[in-house]
Structure 1
Amino acid sequence: MSTFSVKSIVRPNILALKPYRCARDDYSSGVLLDANENSFGPALNPTSDAAVSSEGLDINRYPDPHQHDLKNLIAKFRNISGPEHFFLGVGSDEVIDMIFRVFCVPGKDAVLITPPTYGMYSVCAQINDVEVQKATLTLDGQFQLNVEEIEKQVEAHPNIKVIFLCSPGNPTGSALSHESMKRVLSMPNYKGIVAVDEAYVDFIEAGKEGSTATWVKDYPNLIVMQTMSKSFGLAGVRLGVAITTPEIASYMNATKAPYNIASTTSRVAQEALQPQGLEILHKHIAVMLQERSRLLEAFKSISGLGRVLGTNDSNFVLVEVLDKEGKPSNDRAYNVYTDMAKRQGLVVRFRGSEVGCEGCLRITVGTPEENDVVIKLLTEQLNS
């Protein structure tokens, strides 16, 4: 990777961009009459829940545009050297979109995805008028990278600027092998970005290959995407994280809207990263792993369920629904999905339309009580 140059693949208009300079770039304390904010405060009943929850935040003022305090806490948690390695977005969706905006020229460039995978990569590609190439994962039930196919696609399509790898995958639940990801990162004929989406990485059991975030010191073309929506249970605050080289992070931060992370989001995230929050995080993960194992064991004895696909490294499981002949059935899986949702109030996700996922339901691991309902209703549905 010694010949890799970030500047050679950044869009020329981004290289030439002069970022918007906001008021807080100059001064952040004193009598602040420089940003046309409302000095009289927010239009909220002071005793309302909203006012109480935002107490001390000065929400009549724009939020910190740089979020160094929050970035430092994430860096400590993820064992990264400093805040210069980070871009923070409004959920992982903004992180994904930012990668397109920084690196992909509309109507000219392409990205590569590895189906079955997270649908937002293709959605963002269409929004940004970027072509999508595909290298399907192995369809042996393990859903691992087909590196040879990725290499072929890169050779055939030199306009590929970004390769998106989802590990653990959605909807597969499979963590990709580190060896295969290193091979992709080191492909001699590829001079683009590799974006590894680790939204579910905290659900990988100890002792197995985990996060690739610390690799950013060794691979100048790596962006690792994470989120506080899953293991931290903060989907409502919308905080996505990109961990990468300081150079790549600088381009992403220059391109973003100046105040994209809300003060309330930042405060909640920082609280979750304090020792007490991290203690709760680890307790929740431990219970979820136990419940995941309980679901996997229970599914073995439910007639009408087939294989649990993937390597089960996420907070969900992907399981086949079989027809009367014992074959995966989209029709039966879809009927089970809709009937449980409409008649019994249990909502899972039909994934049978994804390549390699015929007849599959994706079921999130819930609380023990919710999982009891899953086991009960699946047994009733498939044994009736």
Structure 2
Amino acid sequence: MTAGKFDLSNIVRPKIYNLEPYRCARDDFTEGILLDANENAHGPSITISTGFEDLHRYPDPHQVKFKSLMAQFRNKNSKLSVEPLLTSDNLCLGVGSDESVDALIRACCIPGKQKILINPPTYGMYSICAAINDVGVVKIPLTYEDNTFQLNVEKILDTLRSDQDIKLVFITSPGNPTGQYINLADIERICSSWLNGIVVVDEAYIDFGGESASPLVNKYPNLAVFQTVSKSFGLAGIRIGITFASKELSSVLNAMKAPYNISTMASQLGVNALSDKSIQIMQENATKINKEKFRVLKELTSLDCVEDQQISGLDANFIMIRMKNRDIAKQVYLNLATKAKVVVRYRGTELGCAGGLRITIGTKEENDRLIKELKNITDQLLK
């Protein structure tokens, strides 16, 4: 299975691999009297002050500054010894990671013929994007029976050997809804053993626990890594998703994307988030969240109605508890939202997550309220 050399041109659909990117006005000139892009030179027609002075102009189509800062951040914080280091050429940006998921499926999978492989329980958008693109989904569950929620590497590799139509393997690390960091050695083993497609590691929660695989895209040309500024950076509202990939694959994805997909506001806020001071704030907040995570878990698992072992890992900004009485889990979720106005996620229908409630770690005050209301509601339901 390791014979031969990885050839991206055999993985990406030919018309996309050879796609010439759209050339927009801002590719040529960004200064002077700009009369080339049919913009409104009189400025935006709004009545509030935004702090952004050039909203009547199209945004930067390439976002090199943001990409460079993000590459530097991941290089600096990596314990992996990988050369060459990440550069802006390794990144493609999307409107959230969901756009990145869709782009890779469109790039690599022939509709009605080829497939992706996922590892349930996992993020639901992989299957939704596959359905939209008329692409099949092969499911190899995580090892949920022992509550480790790790990859079943042997079964994944056996499946990839037997099914040549699988072109993408989606791995979420840390997992959603599991919160479990996936062993990096297992990911590397799949990358080194399978050259018929792209291994995609979704790292939305990586700053809360675990080593990022992003520097490895320069070691494994068949690896792509998703990240976002939504979680640890606290910028869910600006919708920036990041794909780290080899320069060859990144070039393909950048050719596919819409010319101005990242707004001026998102771009400037994203660059600010990668300043030294902002990164310090992000890391301090991640530390607070991780500390609260263990406190909340201890408080909730001490309740009579909650099992004393959480479901799976503690590597994200959430926990997943399991109600001892599986039948009341959904009612607890609904009563928390409608009566106590504390909203969590019911995950009891996910594989290996029966009776499960996924709970994002909030502020100390929010967490205290959650603990109090969950106890009150379960006491009432179990009377």
Equivalent-residue separation in structure 2 for 1:115 and 1:69 (angstroms): 36
- CA deviation after TM superposition for structure 1 residue 290, in Å: 0.8
What is aligned with 1:123?
A: 128
Q: How does 1:291-302 map onto structure 2 within 5 Å?
A: 291-302=292-303
Q: Does the CA-based 8 Å contact 2:301-2:321 persist in structure 1?
A: no
C-alpha deviations, 1:242-296, integer Å up to 9, x for none? 0111000000000000000000000011111111211211111111011001012
C-alpha deviations, 1:145-170, integer Å up to 9, x for none? 00111112212321000000000000
Q: How does 1:13-24 map onto structure 2 within 5 Å?
A: 13-24=15-26
2:180 maps to 1:174 = yes
The residue type equivalent to 2:23 in the other structure is: R
- CA deviation after TM superposition for structure 1 residue 344, in Å: 0.9
Aligned counterpart in structure 2 of residue 192 of structure 1, from 197, 201, 210: 197
Equivalent-residue separation in structure 2 for 1:318 and 1:184 (angstroms): 28
What is aligned with 1:287?
A: 288
What is aligned with 1:83?
A: 88
Aligned residues: 367
Q: CA RMSD in A?
A: 1.2
2:357 maps to 1:361 = yes
The residue type equivalent to 1:37 in the other structure is: E
Q: Does the CA-based 8 Å contact 1:302-1:378 persist in structure 2?
A: no
- CA deviation after TM superposition for structure 1 residue 309, in Å: 1.2
Equivalent-residue separation in structure 1 for 2:271 and 2:109 (angstroms): 32
Q: How does 1:36-55 map onto structure 2 within 5 Å?
A: 36-45=38-47, 48=48, 51-54=49-52
Deviates more, 1:216-225 or 1:178-187: 178-187
Q: How does 1:326-365 map onto structure 2 within 5 Å?
A: 329=326, 331-365=327-361
The TM-score normalised by the length of structure 1 is 0.93
SS at the partner of 1:299? helix
Identity %: 46
Equivalent-residue separation in structure 2 for 1:152 and 1:336 (angstroms): 41
Equivalent-residue separation in structure 2 for 1:378 and 1:302 (angstroms): 9
Equivalent-residue separation in structure 2 for 1:17 and 1:247 (angstroms): 13
Aligned counterpart in structure 2 of residue 111 of structure 1, from 73, 92, 116: 116
Equivalent-residue separation in structure 2 for 1:196 and 1:81 (angstroms): 16
- CA deviation after TM superposition for structure 1 residue 314, in Å: 0.4
SS at the partner of 2:373? helix
2:382 maps to 1:382 = no
Q: Which runs of 4+ in 1 moved over 2 A?
A: 381-384
C-alpha deviations, 1:192-244, integer Å up to 9, x for none? 1000000000001xxxx411111111101010100000000000000000011
Equivalent-residue separation in structure 2 for 1:62 and 1:15 (angstroms): 27
The TM-score normalised by the length of structure 2 is 0.94
2:154 maps to 1:148 = yes
What is aligned with 2:81?
A: none
C-alpha deviations, 1:34-86, integer Å up to 9, x for none? 111111111112xx1xx3332x3x11011000010111111111114310000
Equivalent-residue separation in structure 1 for 2:33 and 2:231 (angstroms): 40
What is aligned with 2:138?
A: 133
Unaligned runs of 5+ in 1: 324-328
What is aligned with 2:261?
A: 260
Aligned counterpart in structure 2 of residue 30 of structure 1, from 29, 32, 35: 32
What is aligned with 1:326?
A: none
The residue type equivalent to 1:315 in the other structure is: N
SS at the partner of 2:362? coil
The residue type equivalent to 2:163 in the other structure is: H
The residue type equivalent to 1:172 in the other structure is: T
Equivalent-residue separation in structure 1 for 2:283 and 2:133 (angstroms): 38
Q: Does the CA-based 8 Å contact 1:109-1:159 persist in structure 2?
A: yes
- CA deviation after TM superposition for structure 1 residue 381, in Å: 2.2
Equivalent-residue separation in structure 2 for 1:20 and 1:270 (angstroms): 25
C-alpha deviations, 1:296-328, integer Å up to 9, x for none? 2112311110130112100000110112xxxxx
Q: Does the CA-based 8 Å contact 1:89-1:239 persist in structure 2?
A: yes
SS at the partner of 1:53? coil
SS at the partner of 2:143? coil
C-alpha deviations, 1:113-158, integer Å up to 9, x for none? 0000000000000011100001100012110000111112212321
SS at the partner of 1:309? coil
